[in-house]
Amino acid sequence: MASTIVEARGVTKDFGTVQAVRGVDLSIAPGELFGLIGHNGAGKSTLFKMMLGLIPITSGEIRLDGEPVNGPRFRETRRKIGYLPENVVLYDNLTGLETLYFFADLKAVPRRECAGLLDKVGLSHAAGRRVREYSKGMRQRLGFAQALLGTPRLLFLDEPTTGLDPGAIRDFYRILRELKGEGVTMVLTSHILAEIQERVDRLAVMEGGLIRATGTVQALREAMNLPLTLEIAGGAGLAEQVGRVLEGIAIESIEEAGSVLHICLPREAKMPALARLATLGDTMRDLRVREPSLEDVFFGYRNG
Amino acid sequence: MLSIDFRQIAIVAGKEFWDRIRNRWVLAVALVFTAFALVIAYFGAAQQGAVGFRSIEVTIASLVSLVIYLIPLIALILGFDAVVGERERGSLDLLLTLPITRRELILGKYTGLAAALAFSTIAGFGAVGLILSPQLNLTALFHYAGFMFSAILLGLAFLSLAVMLSVFASDRTRASGLAIGTWFFFVLVFDLLILGMLVVTAGDYGGAVFPYLLLLNPADVFRVLNVFTLDEVRTLYGLATVFPEALSSPTILGGVMLAWIVGPLAIAIWRFER
């Protein structure tokens, strides 16, 4: 197996005079759960569509599993791909099971796989109901089942949790973990950054048609060098004592909210600050270190 | 260019066809055809002061006038959202990531819709043929079968136009507007234009060309195919002398109709693949 399953080199896309994607390089390894984040208009949907061969590439090249997108043997590659479009509306007049049969036939997957997949996404109770009676979340789950037909090696999921309730979102990521265990590569986009930050292996931040950064969430945090927050709970006189022991350490801000102090400080000041705070003893009841969220990182890249 | 996988075409065609069977589209259209054809067969000659079935040729002549309005409309309504509808739902992108080419997708859609349209035409007019059959001889049955076959070709030609519009239109609303416009143009405006030109030139210039201009309209091809190839009808309409012999050949007219089916579909595929 190749060391990269998704490979983009110098990819650009022009729509008339607008350059939607401006030279993207990207490598995704087999078995990775990869997130693509960016605000609307950042170019991630365009990049997604080019990876799937839905729109032509202006310049550069994308290869999936070693095969150029829309190359002569790409039809075979498509059999290994599953795709869940954003806000997909499937066929209202078909039942859930019939919908899967249709897509299974087109993918040359035996129809007997379909019932099991509906069960996997928690829709077996609605298999015989028309899709027009499905809720938004059920439609999304049916779309996901469709993407899983034929045990794909590579899954593209565009805003996959839109319309799902929290329980369904948890189930969804549980299935993604199982698939990852089976070696499936997954590329997903999301605008709910908090949702994907603990769940993806690596991610790319897209902005203005460019990939601004690629890496693990932790690597991006460190590369951005965003400040950390220490949250300290304690009794009376806490602020005063904390202020005293942290004297001389470069603190960006201190805010007091009820009985909790929020101290914002640079990453490199974390260990010295913790060592000094440890001397406070019983005055301090609790301490938490809050890493910058993916939101913070994302807006850091956007604004910086 | 990728080769064509007929299995994929058959899967898409099967879905389109069964969709129309299940939502009773085929049944409804067939019933409309049957009802109109029966009424026309029995009352079509009322203008001549008689009620009741007279002859197959008079019946066909009356049916042609009906079908020329109805079938293009039904075919355009059937096909106008074939592609643009999928695009608007978001399912087109999904279909195109599957192992199916754009060409196969269009051919599958067209084949399935064409089968539904042909099926309802055969069922609707066929039922009337059965009812009339005791009063028909073999020649009359042959003429009626020819009428049914040409009605199917007419439907397929307008379905082909509809699918082409569906590829070019950016949304369903525009596609439906284009479909209605196409119907108006070919069914109502085209003949008036030709007639107008004929009157303006007083038949002095290129009078011989005008009959051939009718080939630019599949509805007219259908009319010519049915009206000018039946002797009794030609006499009835008093047209026997004005139409060139070459154009009353069913083979040539059938070939032109075939071009009207293949042409727009080929343009649709060409455009969709870009």
pLDDT for res A1? 46
Please determine, for the modelled complex, whether the ipTM score is greater than 0.90.
no
Q: How far is A10 from chain B (nearest CA, A)?
A: 23
- Counting Cα atoms < 13 Å in the Cβ hemisphere of B24 gives 3
Quick check: A283 and A238 in contact, CB under 8 A?
Answer: yes
Residue A128 is classified by DSSP as T
Instruction: Determine whether the interchain pair B91/A107 forms a contact, defined as Cβ–Cβ distance below 8 Å.
Output: no
Instruction: Determine whether the interchain pair A85/B101 forms a contact, defined as Cβ–Cβ distance below 8 Å.
Output: no
pLDDT for res B59? 83
Q: Is A182 exposed, middle or buried (0-12, 13-18, 19+ CB in 10 A)?
A: exposed
| Backbone CA torsion sign across B212, B213, B214, B217 | positive
Residues of B in contact with A93 (CB under 8 A): 19, 22-23
Residues of A in contact with B94 (CB under 8 A): 83, 85, 88, 143, 146
The two beta strands, A228-234 and A260-265, are antiparallel
**CA A267/CA A252 separation, integer angstroms:** 11
Partner residue opposite B90 with nearest CB, options A75, A87, A156: A87
Average pLDDT value over all residues in chain A: 88
Distances from the Cα of A122 to the Cαs of A126, A179, B27, B186, in angstroms?
Answer: 9, 16, 36, 52
Q: Residue A220 is encoded by which pair of tokens? A: 């991006």
Residues of B in contact with A79 (CB under 8 A): 99
Q: Is B90 exposed, middle or buried (0-12, 13-18, 19+ CB in 10 A)?
A: middle
Average pLDDT (B258-265) is 96
In chain A, the domains with their CATH numbers are: 6-80+153-215 (3.40.50.300), 90-142 (no CATH), 226-303 (3.30.70.980)
pLDDT for res A33? 94
Mean pLDDT is lowest, of A194-198, B19-23, B71-75, B170-174, for A194-198
Residues of A in contact with B98 (CB under 8 A): 78, 103, 106-107
Instruction: Determine whether the interchain pair B97/A53 forms a contact, defined as Cβ–Cβ distance below 8 Å.
Output: yes
**Could you tell me which residues come within 8 angstroms of residue A99 by beta carbon, excluding any fewer than 6 positions away?**
A90, A91, A131, A142, A146
pLDDT for res A197? 79
Q: Which residues pair with A231 in a beta bridge?
A: A262, A288
* The model's pTM: 0.86
Q: How far is B20 from chain A (nearest CA, A)?
A: 10
Q: Is the pLDDT of residue A42 over 60?
A: yes
Residues of B in contact with A85 (CB under 8 A): 90-91, 93-94
Instruction: State residue A13 phi and psi, 5-degree precision.
Output: -145, 120
Encode pLDDT of A123-182 as tens digits: 999 999 999 999 988 999 999 999 999 999 999 999 888 878 888 888 889 999 999 999
Encode pLDDT of B181-210 as tens digits: 999 999 999 989 888 887 887 766 666 777
Average pLDDT (A221-237) is 84
CA dihedral B140, B145, B148, B154 (to 10 degrees): -110
Average pLDDT (B32-49) is 80
Encode pLDDT of B112-167 as tens digits: 999 999 999 999 999 999 988 888 888 888 889 999 999 999 999 999 999 999 99
Partner residue opposite A107 with nearest CB, options B15, B90, B98: B98
Q: Is the pLDDT of residue B233 over 70?
A: no
Q: Residue B130 is encoded by which pair of tokens? A: 């059965």
CB pairs < 8 Å spanning A and B: 60
**CA A5/CA A2 separation, integer angstroms:** 6
For the beta carbon of residue A71, count every other beta carbon within 10 angstroms. 14
pLDDT for res A104? 96
Q: What percent of chain B has pLDDT over 70?
A: 88
> Given CB atoms, is A87 within the 8 Å cutoff of chain B?
yes
For the beta carbon of residue B177, count every other beta carbon within 10 angstroms. 14
| Backbone CA torsion sign across B113, B114, B119, B124 | positive
Partner residue opposite B97 with nearest CB, options A81, A102, A105: A81
Amino acid at B54: R
Average pLDDT (A73-88) is 88
Residues of B in contact with A90 (CB under 8 A): 89, 91
Average pLDDT value over all residues in chain B: 87
Residue B241 is classified by DSSP as T
